[in-house]
């Protein structure tokens, strides 16, 4: 079955690549600044948070005297969270936003989640490359340990895609799911150590945060990029297990309801 799936994806690789290219062009080709908007939005968000919280949070980052410490801490979380939300929101609405294509064209339906996920990942890599350039120029690049974020990124994508497909299938049949996810993400952001450090929280909140997969993932990026430490692989083990389970459930749901999705929309 998997061989047939990968074979179908390979045969439709041109469709996938062209769709990703069109998605990128449609976002920015009609605007004056074009793809610069991809960069300006997170830069503006990071700048505001840095100005508001940098003095308060600098003392909360142990052994970090660098003037760039909080900016790196913040970027590690904001960029990671941006990838998560862009991918998740895209997957939640992927079938509803492509209803015309689903009705008119015959292609493997799994191509649509792939297109959304790869597009979000490309956008993230563009912004993240500028962040890496900033660390190189400022002398804060962590060195070879930087590449430890690759497995962390892989786990994050598996987790996000699995959760996104589950919610995307549910959203076709219960349209309230999309609205619920938008509200959930607002609370989820502030329950993740992006703007503040975990040590600012009371003990009960830190204990509860262990059940937040995104908090563990964000902390892993921060360990590598700010503290130049390896991720806590032990803490990542349950997150990886949850990601794989969600991915398996999402794939099973997609298989069972692929035909029903077309009929419902």
Task: Quote the CA–CA distance of 263 and 265 in Å, as a whole number.
Answer: 6
Q: With pLDDT > 90 as the criterion, what percentage of the chain qualifies? A: 45
Question: Which positions ≥6 away from 131 have C-beta within 8 Å?
Answer: 75, 79
Task: Quote the CA–CA distance of 194 and 75 in Å, as a whole number.
Answer: 8
Does residue 212 or residue 260 have the better pLDDT?
212
How many other CB atoms are there within 10 angstroms of residue 245's CB atom?
Answer: 12
What does the DSSP 8-state code read for residue 232? -
- Looking at residue 65, its pLDDT comes to 66
Q: Which two tokens stand for residue 253?
A: 């749901």
pTM for the structure as a whole: 0.89
- Looking at residue 210, its pLDDT comes to 87
Does residue 18 or residue 8 have the better pLDDT?
18
Summarize pLDDT for 228-249 with one digit per residue, the tens. 999 999 999 999 999 999 999 9
Summarize pLDDT for 28-85 with one digit per residue, the tens. 666 555 556 667 777 776 777 666 666 666 656 656 666 778 888 888 999 999 999 9
Question: Which positions ≥6 away from 194 have C-beta within 8 Å?
Answer: 74, 77, 78, 81, 218
Summarize pLDDT for 204-236 with one digit per residue, the tens. 888 888 899 999 999 999 999 998 999 999 999
Is residue 91 very low, low, confident or very high in pLDDT (cuts 50, 70, 90)?
A: very high
- Looking at residue 49, its pLDDT comes to 66
Residue in the structure block whose two tokens are 């398996």: 248
Closest CA to 185 of 48, 84, 42: 84
* Range 170-195 average pLDDT: 92
Extents of the domains making up the chain:
43-264
């Amino acid at each position: 079955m998997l061989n047939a799936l990968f074979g179908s994806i390979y045969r439709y690789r041109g469709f996938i690549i062209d769709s990703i290219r069109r998605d990128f062009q449609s976002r920015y080709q009609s605007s004056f600044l074009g793809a610069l908007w991809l960069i300006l939005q997170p830069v503006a968000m990071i700048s505001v948070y840095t100005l508001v919280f940098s003095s308060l949070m600098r003392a909360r980052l142990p052994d970090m005297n660098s003037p760039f410490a909080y900016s790196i801490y913040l970027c590690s979380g904001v960029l990671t969270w941006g990838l998560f939300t862009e991918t998740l929101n895209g997957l939640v609405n992927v079938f509803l936003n492509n209803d015309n294509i689903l009705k008119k064209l015959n292609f493997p339906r799994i191509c649509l989640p792939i297109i959304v996920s790869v597009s979000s990942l490309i956008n993230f890599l563009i912004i993240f490359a500028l962040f890496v350039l900033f660390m190189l120029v400022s002398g804060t690049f962590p060195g070879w340990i930087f590449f430890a974020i690759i497995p962390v990124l892989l786990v994050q994508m598996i987790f996000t895609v699995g959760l996104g497909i589950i919610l995307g299938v549910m959203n076709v049949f219960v349209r309230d799911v999309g609205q619920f996810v938008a509200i959930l993400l607002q609370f989820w952001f502030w329950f993740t150590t992006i703007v503040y450090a975990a040590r600012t929280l009371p003990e009960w909140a830190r204990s509860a945060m262990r059940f937040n997969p995104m908090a563990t993932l964000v902390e892993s990026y921060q360990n590598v990029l700010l503290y130049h430490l390896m991720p806590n692989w032990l803490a990542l083990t349950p997150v990886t297990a949850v990601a794989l389970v969600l991915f398996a459930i999402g794939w099973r749901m997609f298989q069972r309801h692929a035909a029903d999705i077309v009929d419902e929309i």
